[in-house]
Amino acid sequence: MNIQLQTTELAKAKSTLRPTLSLGGSLNAGYNNNNIGGYGYQLNNSFYQNLGLTLSIPIFDRKVTKTNVAKANIGIEQARLSLLDAKTTLTQNVERAYINVQNANSQYAAAQEQFKYTSEALRISNAALKEGTNNIVENLQQKNLYVQALQAFVQAKYTASLYTKIYNFYTGVPITN
């Protein structure tokens, strides 16, 4: 839209190079108390009509038109560059969103595996604690690892979901809950 606006500005600037023809007119009537003959007589005698035609040919305008045309051309080029910049920025954002989705999905898969293994390790540690082959400190350490893995799993899950929705937004897929 900005390019179209600047193109219109260019056409407007170039239009001052063309001659202009203007038509003007006026109707006029007057009334005076001092005149004899009444209002109708005065209206007939004091009714004036004017019609004029003006032709303006631009010969010398101190390079104002040339400057305005050059400014309009610069405006068009700036609008084109702004459009190109916006397209480049959007492309970068889409690519960044895609990379974020790939990374988040990889982190989610890794966190899921880590959670699976720490869950199994905690189960084994609890069984060893019941048999007496494991002490409470080692069991608490395994529980801490389990909680950390659970936290990383949940965070990776929601991060992957968020980045997927952001990427879907950029690619035009409707966002759902």
Q: Domains for the chain: give ranges and CATH numbers.
A: 19-57 (no CATH), 98-171 (1.10.287)
Position 47 scores a pLDDT of 72
pLDDT over threshold 60, residue 39: no
Q: Tens of pLDDT along 80-117?
A: 999 999 999 999 999 999 999 999 999 999 999 999 99
Q: Tens of pLDDT along 119-158?
A: 999 999 999 999 989 899 999 999 999 999 999 999 999 9
Q: What is the separation of C-alpha 41 from the centre of its chain, rounded to a whole number of angstroms? A: 69
Of 19, 21, 15, the closest CA to residue 57 belongs to: 19
Over range 56-82, report the average pLDDT. Answer: 90
Which residues is 20 bridged to in the sheet?
A: 56
Taking the C-alpha atoms of residue 108 and residue 164, their distance in angstroms, rounded to an integer, is: 12
Over range 31-51, report the average pLDDT. Answer: 65
pLDDT category at 53 given cuts 50, 70, 90 is: very high
Position 20 scores a pLDDT of 86
Of 57, 76, 53, the closest CA to residue 65 belongs to: 57
Of 151, 125, 153, 154, the closest CA to residue 140 belongs to: 125
Q: What token pair was written down for 99?
A: 């990379």
Distances (CA, A) of 143 to 71, 113, 139, 154: 71, 16, 6, 16
Q: Tens of pLDDT along 1-30?
A: 989 999 999 999 888 888 888 999 998 776
Taking the C-alpha atoms of residue 165 and residue 177, their distance in angstroms, rounded to an integer, is: 9
Which residues is 170 bridged to in the sheet?
A: none
Q: What is the dihedral of CA 68, 70, 72, 77, to 10 degrees?
A: -170
Is residue 149 within 8 A of residue 162, CB to CB? The reply is no
Position 17 scores a pLDDT of 82
Position 81 scores a pLDDT of 96
